[in-house]
């Protein structure tokens, strides 16, 4: 077997087992700190590659089909971008968890939908255009709204250049999109014939990102085991809570679209929270954001089977009336 065939086989396998591969990256990074240290400097590269791999699965014609649903899509983006922070702020006001954890909770919520949403939407067979719109619009707007909301809701004065930061973030996502367009022009037949391998590109990059995101996490767990485990549970509770809220809010638009709304609600760009906080991040906030990365990269693997069953049951229900109608028609003389 040649190198090219072996690589294609590896990518196809990764695409078929995407959710579990991403979880494996988190577990390896958590258990072997040396590997997480090696992977950490390549986080930006990994984000670019998994966004690029996700775009390879993206059909431009699908965006055209979403134009008719633009009101729905904008409402989903607004909910994920501003509705989730509002709910988390209310939780902070009611629960009063202390300044350090409050900072972590607030900036987890203020971060926009993650570029990983596009890859996760491909892995989970959800609505990729919705995930793409939420990522691009939220990423472009984040440097402008985060400083304002951070000041209004938490009294934080952030020293960032919104235009320069927005340009860098959009360049990352836009560059991945342009690279995917070029790849489709140069190798459209190969890409069309190997959809699982294209998903595999995103999956392997997310494996690297999940591993690099675990830098220092083992030390946290060993030094503060009770606090760390409590924060991991809290991170899962917030992520799944946001996903459930987003899904129920938009359930009437169809199961795949509603589940995608849930995905963009709970999957945040946690690395951006670290970027905007810089050296102002408090110790427990830092720990909570780190545990948020654990939840972020493992949640799709934990829910993939359930989401597939929900979508499949919806398809069965929608096809049943048509089948009954067809059967009834065949009985008529």
Q: Is residue 318 part of a domain?
A: no
What value does the mean pLDDT take over residues 27-36?
A: 90
Among 7-16, 38-47, 76-85, 324-333, name the one with the lowest average pLDDT.
324-333
User: What's the pLDDT score for residue 2?
Assistant: 67
8 A C-beta contact, residue 125 and residue 311: yes
Q: Is residue 32 part of a domain?
A: no
Secondary structure string (H, E, C) spanning 59-91: CHHHHHHHHHHHHHHHHHHHHHHHHHHHHHHHH
| Dist. CA 181–CA 58, nearest whole Å | 10
| Local confidence band at 327 (pLDDT 50, 70, 90 cut-offs) | very low
State the DSSP code for 113: B
User: Higher confidence at residue 74 or residue 166?
Assistant: 74
| Dist. CA 46–CA 134, nearest whole Å | 20
- Distance (Å) of CA 42 to CA 122, 128, 212: 23, 25, 8
Q: Which residues of 284-305 are buried (b: 16+ CB within 10 A; e: fewer)?
A: bbbbbbbbbbbbbbbbbbebbe
Q: Is residue 234 part of a domain?
A: yes
On the question of pLDDT at 60 being above 70, the answer is no
Q: The tokens of 184 are what? A: 């489709």
State the DSSP code for 156: -
On the question of pLDDT at 44 being above 90, the answer is no
User: What's the pLDDT score for residue 54?
Assistant: 72
202-260 pLDDT, tens per residue?
888 888 888 988 888 888 888 888 998 999 999 999 999 999 999 999 999 988 999 99
Q: Is residue 291 part of a domain?
A: yes
Angle between helices 128-154 and 270-277 (to 10 degrees): 30
| Dist. CA 183–CA 175, nearest whole Å | 12
On the question of pLDDT at 46 being above 80, the answer is yes
300-324 pLDDT, tens per residue?
888 888 888 888 876 665 555 545 5
Q: What is the pTM of this model?
A: 0.83
User: What's the pLDDT score for residue 75?
Assistant: 94
User: What's the pLDDT score for residue 331?
Assistant: 35
What are residue 159's phi and psi, to 5 degrees? Answer: -100, 80
Nearest to 121 by CA among 110, 112, 129, 109: 129
Q: Is residue 213 part of a domain?
A: yes
Domain containing residue 58: CATH number:
1.20.1530.20
On the question of pLDDT at 90 being above 90, the answer is yes
- Domain limits for position 133: 42-301
91-144 pLDDT, tens per residue?
999 999 999 999 999 999 999 998 888 888 888 888 888 888 888 888 888 888
User: What's the pLDDT score for residue 209?
Assistant: 85
What are residue 125's phi and psi, to 5 degrees? Answer: 60, 45
Q: Is residue 148 part of a domain?
A: yes
8 A C-beta contact, residue 287 and residue 104: yes
User: What's the pLDDT score for residue 329?
Assistant: 47
User: What's the pLDDT score for residue 83?
Assistant: 95
| Dist. CA 219–CA 81, nearest whole Å | 32
On the question of pLDDT at 87 being above 50, the answer is yes
Nearest to 53 by CA among 156, 164, 207: 207
152-166 pLDDT, tens per residue?
998 888 887 777 777
What value does the mean pLDDT take over residues 20-46?
A: 88
Looking at the structure of the chain, the number of domains it has is: 1
Mean pLDDT of the chain: 84
User: What's the pLDDT score for residue 137?
Assistant: 86
User: Which residues is 268 bridged to in the sheet?
Assistant: 113
């Amino acid at each position: 077997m040649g190198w090219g065939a072996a690589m294609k086989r590896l990518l196809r396998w990764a695409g078929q087992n995407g959710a579990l591969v991403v979880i494996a990256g988190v577990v390896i990074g958590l258990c072997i700190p040396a590997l997480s240290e090696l992977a950490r400097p390549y986080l930006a590269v990994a984000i670019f590659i998994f966004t690029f791999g996700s775009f390879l699965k993206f059909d431009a014609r699908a965006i055209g089909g979403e134009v008719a649903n633009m009101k729905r899509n904008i409402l989903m983006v607004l909910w994920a971008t501003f509705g989730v922070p509002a709910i988390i702020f209310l939780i902070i006001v009611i629960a009063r968890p202390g300044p350090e954890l409050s900072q972590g909770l607030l900036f987890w919520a203020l971060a926009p939908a993650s570029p990983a949403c596009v890859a996760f939407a491909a892995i989970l067979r959800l609505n990729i255009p919705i995930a793409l719109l939420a990522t691009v619009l939220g990423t472009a707007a984040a440097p402008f709204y985060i400083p304002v909301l951070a000041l209004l809701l938490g009294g934080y004065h952030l020293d960032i250049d919104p235009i320069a930061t927005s340009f860098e973030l959009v360049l990352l996502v836009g560059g991945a999109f342009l690279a995917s367009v070029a790849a489709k022009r140069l190798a459209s037949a190969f890409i069309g014939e190997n959809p699982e391998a294209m998903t595999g590109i995103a999956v392997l990059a997310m494996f690297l990102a999940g591993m690099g995101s675990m830098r220092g996490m083992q030390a946290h767990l060993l030094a503060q085991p009770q606090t760390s485990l409590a924060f991991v549970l809290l991170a899962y509770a917030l992520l799944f809570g946001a996903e459930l809220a987003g899904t129920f809010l938009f359930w009437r638009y169809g199961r795949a679209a509603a589940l995608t709304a849930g995905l963009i609600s709970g999957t945040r760009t946690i690395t951006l929270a670290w970027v905007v906080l810089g050296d102002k991040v408090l110790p427990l906030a830092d720990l909570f954001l780190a545990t948020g990365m654990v939840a972020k990269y493992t949640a799709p693997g934990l829910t993939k089977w359930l989401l597939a069953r929900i979508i499949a049951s919806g398809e069965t229900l929608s096809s049943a009336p048509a089948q009954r109608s067809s059967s009834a028609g065949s009985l008529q003389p």
